[in-house]
Amino acid sequence: MEATTTTTRQQFSTTRIVKFIFVLACFFISLSGRLLFRIETLKFDEHYNMPSYRWWYDASKSNSNNDNNVVLVDDIDETGHDVQRLERPMPLSIVKVPTPIFVLTLPKGGSTTIHQYFQCGLGIGASAHNRYPYAQSNKLKHVGITMRDNIKQNKPLLTVDNDSLDKYQIFSDYDSFKGSLFSMIDSLDNISKFYPNSTILYVRRDPSDWFRSASNFGSLLRRFRSSEKSPLVESLFSPDSPTRPAAMNETHWTTFYENYSDYVRKIGSEHPSLTYLEVPLDSNTDTVMQERIGITKQCWGRANVSSKKNETKNSNDTAIKNEIDSTKRRGPIALPRNWTADTFS
């Protein structure tokens, strides 16, 4: 009887050992399978220059700027300004309206925010705002001056020999006051003639809000009124508007703004081949832009935003501050960069 019990115990122990070995073998097989899958995934990512699954997982949890898996990083644009953009810029194909896009929003009407919205979503080199790196020198050139020269020669607005302006897809704030005023609306006839399938984007601010912002922005309004200008721009001022800038009041300027808006709408309605998009500047603009343009709304409102500025503000380290300031003073970065507009087409 005792021998039988001993044999039973030995068989039970052997069974437990076999089960343990079996479970352990399954564990190692599963682990090796996961490792092999991870190695092959990394090889695939490296071969096709794609981010690994683990990178996306970690980034989505660790980046404080992230909402809905949007990761923003600091950068310096081609004019030397601190900016924020998507870590992985979106392809131009996601834009729901035809390009090029001509932004007719007046200065202090949200033009910088619009520019940075596109630059954030599509990458540095997709949007030209006021100035751009002139291909024939190491200096910045005003977009409006190039456009005015092309109009004088009856050339397409973006065509200049040996230049980089036509590499961009979005154009904003290209008023120029050098010599005489070249207003963005002075380019509309050229746009409708040479770019009949392009997009006119007009983000419209409340006229009184625009006046208050513009009147606090240096000599902007004075230059608008006193500079030599086209008959078209002059016609936007009411007949009773004083020619002396100091005599202009809010009503004169809000009337000018309303007339400007009406003329932009008129061009949009008279040229059905153009895509005309008007968006009010309010608390819902980010959502409307995401729906109508296609770039994430997390890129809206990123103008003049950079963690470097916070570092400067919060740091007592003079060396760090000087390094940041010197970085902000960098000159233009020559195009093309790794994420220029050509990359996304």
- 293 neighbors 214 (Cβ within 8 angstroms): no
Closest CA to 85 of 333, 296, 323, 328: 296
State the pTM of this model.
0.69
Indicate whether 341 pLDDT > 50: no
The larger pLDDT score, comparing residue 10 to residue 217, is at 217
CATH architecture of residue range(s) 71-344: 3-Layer(aba) Sandwich (3.40)
Indicate whether 309 pLDDT > 60: no
Contacts of 136 (CB under 8 A, 6+ apart): 162, 163
| pLDDT, tens digit, 9 for 90 and up, residues 16-66 | 676 667 767 766 666 565 544 444 433 433 433 333 332 222 323 333 344
Question: How far apart are the C-alpha atoms of 106 and 172, rounded to whole Å?
Answer: 9
